[in-house]
Structure 1
């Protein structure tokens, strides 16, 4: 039986593309218009797995998602780094001169701002989701309206791509993770990355000591993110991602940090998604 995959956003979104990359085109999809709803669908078991964006090369970390994974004890089981491409699409039989308005998510509009300076006749309208707009254009047969969305949306909804890669910054990628409520049973030989969370006392050298342990154990620190501990002023949780070549080195680092840090938690051990 196919697993039900919860995604943030609509069918045809980048979250949907990541789900298809991992689990194929025949997946059962659960669309969630927020990450909170996505997590709820995992907790109430209406979905088996969730796809969550965690960071972007332009926008940075999506900090609330780190907090959601931690608060609800989700487990990261895999990841993908996806290059983000914005395409202008509309009903077939039109060209860009026929388009009067473009509806899309505010971030997509912002990332394509330079392109539209050359098309001042087009009004930019903020909307809730890139792929959902593409779906609405197809369903309601909306002419003179275009969407900014991934190419997967044009394929699914039968729209025509008017312009490819209209984003200003071409090298734009997002890191997505696959999460579930149960601890995965990844084989040791599949694992070369870990996501950890811990707290430290607010005193000189406490973080440096942990970083030295990671270095001494041959860990490569690829990400560090701090979040304040609610209702405990000047205390922080640290979220770190590390990669490694030898799982035994990771086990050594884990055992030491467990002793040195507080509220230590393994958010996931999985295969590094960077090629």
Structure 2
């Protein structure tokens, strides 16, 4: 049985992502209180895989997670895009009129602002490391009058009753998760996407030259993210995702890009299959 590290506890959205990606496989979860603990567990080989959120269509990129992947030299072996649906849940046998407080993770509260604002008499508390922790608190303490915002899985996991479904303000709310490992997998060219980390000389036109070269090979760039280099003010590493239909073009790019003078360093963070949006 494989051990998979997640940030959060059973019933959280990371758990849902694991359930979808590893559907049909036996696994157990290692619950981590932070992304740093998750990354370090994979680095120390305490687990077989890690599943880590990297960006959200509303909140944007989780920049520190790119730094963690680089710090521990972890490899991306897969990805999953999952729709985030929030639900209001409470200890069984209550109605919304009996609720005086809503608890959850700060981001979940932010993503459900319109619903919460429609109940001005209910106050909101955001002191939980993930949505499932709020659900577990209510269940464990049999709290009445308090509701949590969390996933459907959290309601099932902790025996809570859903009072309102899909209360998120924006329906097209997706989170992208990386599946990470200490070592790359042998994919025998069954991949069509790669994540790269570039360090480029701090000169005029350097980034433009790199991007123009990638485009000239016939490779599509789907994401670029700059991350500051510590102790080197105003210098950045660039994280780039590329997708291709012909792996030979990708191999050509890897060989030829190293000859560009302004490229200081190229690291392959992962080669994997392009994930698809999963709507539950």
TM-score by length of 1: 0.96
1:273 is displaced (CA, Å) by 0.5
**How far apart, CA to CA, are the structure 2 residues paired with 1:178 and 1:94?**
39
Greater mean alpha carbon deviation, residues 73-82 or residues 134-143: 134-143
- The 4+ residue runs of structure 1 with deviation greater than 3 A are none
Q: Any gaps of 5 or more consecutive residues in structure 2?
A: none
Q: Any gaps of 5 or more consecutive residues in structure 1?
A: none
SS in 2 for 1:21: helix
Pairing 1:83-232 to 2, within 5 Å after superposition: 83-128=83-128, 129-188=130-189, 190-232=190-232
Match status 1:272 vs 2:274:
yes
Check conservation: 1:193, 1:272, Cα contact below 8 A: yes
Check conservation: 1:20, 1:27, Cα contact below 8 A: no
**How far apart, CA to CA, are the structure 1 residues paired with 2:259 and 2:269?**
17
**How far apart, CA to CA, are the structure 2 residues paired with 1:24 and 1:192?**
22
Greater mean alpha carbon deviation, residues 41-50 or residues 171-180: 41-50
1:238 is displaced (CA, Å) by 0.6
Check conservation: 2:45, 2:182, Cα contact below 8 A: no
Greater mean alpha carbon deviation, residues 240-249 or residues 19-28: 19-28
Check conservation: 1:200, 1:262, Cα contact below 8 A: yes
Q: Which residue of 1 aligns with 2:81?
A: 81
Q: How many residues align?
A: 273
Greater mean alpha carbon deviation, residues 252-261 or residues 155-164: 252-261
SS in 2 for 1:259: coil
Match status 1:19 vs 2:18:
yes
Greater mean alpha carbon deviation, residues 224-233 or residues 237-246: 224-233
Structure 1 residues 79, 228: CA separation in 2 closer, same or farther (over 3 Å shift)? same
Q: Which residue of 2 aligns with 1:263?
A: 265
Q: Which residue of 2 aligns with 1:49?
A: 49
**How far apart, CA to CA, are the structure 2 residues paired with 1:206 and 1:146?**
52
Q: Deviations over 1:43-78 (max 9, x none)?
A: 222211111111111111111001111111100000
1:229 is displaced (CA, Å) by 1.5
**How far apart, CA to CA, are the structure 2 residues paired with 1:14 and 1:92?**
22
Check conservation: 1:199, 1:235, Cα contact below 8 A: no
1:79 is displaced (CA, Å) by 0.3
TM-score by length of 2: 0.94
How well do the aligned residues superpose, as a CA RMSD in angstroms?
1.3
1:258 is displaced (CA, Å) by 2.6
Greater mean alpha carbon deviation, residues 33-42 or residues 43-52: 43-52
